[in-house]
Structure 1
Amino acid sequence: MTSIAYRTVDVDGLNVFYREAGPADAPTLLLLHGFPSAGHMFRDLIPKLADRVHIVAPDLPGFGQSDMPARDVFEYTFEHLADVIDRFTEVIGLNRFALYVFDYGAPTGFRIAAKHPERITAIISQNGNAYEEGLSEGWNPIRAYWQDRSQANRDALRAFLTPETTRWQYTHGTPDETAVSPDGSTLDNAYLARPDAHEVQLELFGDYGSNVALYPAFQEYFRTHQPPLLAVWGSNDPFFLPAGAEAFKRDLPNADVQFLNTGHFALETHAEEIAAAITKFLG
């Protein structure tokens, strides 16, 4: 049976919670979650990889069990999230690692990779976008807010933070909604129900444009350093389109791009297939 340790580490005064499993001397895979989830989204994947890979899965600041500092003392931007996770890897002693990036984990991880290309052994992108053609029209309300930070545009995004929308993100695009456990979305909604959590998420919605502005820099990193890349993608994702996965081949001709008949949270229905693809990819 796979043993998973649940740890918390002080990163320059901020408590970052993380899951760790697998042999400490094995190659490391850093798992970076997305919105509105946390490291628990990898609960089905970790046991399938930990016999041969050292797994580290932190909760981003403001998510899960990591600290959620007040907005007047912590700037909720993707640059700041990346800085914290970058320091987290240094504090726990990760010198070389592969990245698994999903949703918000992609702009976080790609910032780290572009800053420290020598540390990155490979990238697995599961619905983790780096190309404008990967953004669906579902981003239009969020795009309106990052372009105009008005209160009206901010309030219009509160619909993305309801329990019903969280559940929809988990089930949309899946062939059989009854195959998607309610556990993940229920836990995410519990975290979203904490005081000020909605305002934290609205700050990140407003900053998402900074990620799109960095797409050319991420793409330059890909072209220059040619990291091995596996894109394994829920093809029915309402936010990140298959074109975003195919676009990796433009800068990484050897990228392995695979599509699964499911939605955004592909691990909920296809953890077995994704684990097999990762095992083959990492060798």
Structure 2
Amino acid sequence: MDDTNTVKHRWIDVDGVGTFYREAGPADAPAILLPHGYPCSSYEFRNFMPLLADGWRLLAPDFPGCGYSDTPEGFVYDFDGYATFLDRFLNRLGIERFALYLHDFGSQIGLRLAIMRPDRIAALIIQNGDIYEDQLGPKYAALQEYFRNPTPEMRAKLGEAITEEGFRDEFLNDVRPELAERIPPDLWKLHWSLMTDRRRKITIGVIAGLKDNLAWFPRYQAYLREHRPPTLIVWGPQDGYMPEGSARAYLRDLPDAELHLLDGGHWLLETNLAEVVALVRDFLPRVWR
């Protein structure tokens, strides 16, 4: 029986890091790398992957310290560390060229990976991932307060949002009530159940590191301007962190990008899955070279 479209759940050793990942599609098909966002894991792509697996090889790893991957002592838990991890994960699987799905903090990690080896990027799919400081939404207010005053006390305050209720707020994130009904509580229940004291400390460090990540925003933008990868932008404007302006800002550096504003929020693969899949299925065959 052909089970190409079935999502496989696998573990692999990536330079000593026990790594969980989801895979679907033929091993010889063009690859799509799916780095996840916060506070999620590869679970966010569970419904997306089988709907594209007839023609693509989809790979969604859990970052170290997230989901079902290990939380090793020696790992560097910052955006550079995660980008290097993605590079080694791809090398371990023998993937040279790929399309890259950019969402949430996975967008910035993914762009660091693209900057490392721009020749590997066949196309970008960008979905609610911010790299324009002047377009940050109102939910960034608490983080921006920390950026202005990064004291130990303010850093500790960041941890107050790392709760089950805080996770729920991250996943519902300003969508209208009828859309919120489409977002399963499994998202915050599962990911909160996987949080440990050590992972919580790591998470606070990653969130605090967003301050230094702002300095990378011009570098991400320069990469886009210089290399002009074929790009599809699918965006949910009902997003307190990354509203419509965050999506339109990409057109400054990628004027040829295809932009689609959908009736959804930050987690489009929960609320607008069929629309996103249709757009990706139309886009990738046209641009893959």
TM-score by length of 2: 0.92
1:212-268 per-position Cα deviation (integer Å, ceiling 9, x unaligned): 211111111111111011111110111112212111111111101111222211211
Q: Give the aligned partner of residue 185 of structure 2.
A: 182
Q: 1:112 Cα shift?
A: 0.7
**Which of 257, 260, 265 is the equivalent residue of 1:258?**
260
**Which of 270, 273, 285 is the equivalent residue of 1:271?**
273
Partners of 2:17 and 2:274 in 1: CA distance: 34
Q: 1:148 Cα shift?
A: 4.2
1:78-103 per-position Cα deviation (integer Å, ceiling 9, x unaligned): 11111111111111111000000111
Matches within 5 A, 1:201-280: 201-280=203-282
Partners of 1:149 and 1:69 in 2: CA distance: 27
Q: 1:32 Cα shift?
A: 0.9
C-alpha spacing 1:65/1:146, structure 2 compared with 1 (3 Å): farther
**Mean alpha-carbon deviation: is it higher for 147-156 or for 13-22?**
147-156
SS of the residue corresponding to residue 23 of structure 1 reads coil
Q: Give the aligned partner of residue 72 of structure 2.
A: 69
Partners of 2:143 and 2:75 in 1: CA distance: 22
Partners of 1:244 and 1:172 in 2: CA distance: 15
Matches within 5 A, 1:1-283: 2-70=5-73, 73-175=74-176, 176=178, 177-192=180-195, 194-283=196-285
Partners of 1:68 and 1:142 in 2: CA distance: 25
Partners of 1:143 and 1:133 in 2: CA distance: 12
Letter in 1 for 2:31: T
Partners of 1:39 and 1:184 in 2: CA distance: 11
Partners of 1:115 and 1:3 in 2: CA distance: 32
Alignment check: 8 A CA contact 2:32 2:100 kept: yes
SS of the residue corresponding to residue 247 of structure 1 reads helix
Letter in 1 for 2:43: H
Q: Number of aligned pairs?
A: 280
Q: Identity of paired residues, percent?
A: 38
Alignment check: 8 A CA contact 1:160 1:166 kept: yes
Unaligned 5+ segments in structure 1 are none
TM-score by length of 1: 0.94
Q: 1:75 Cα shift?
A: 2.6
Please give the root-mean-square deviation of Cα atoms over the aligned residues, in Å.
1.5
Q: 1:11 Cα shift?
A: 1.6
Q: 1:142 Cα shift?
A: 2.1
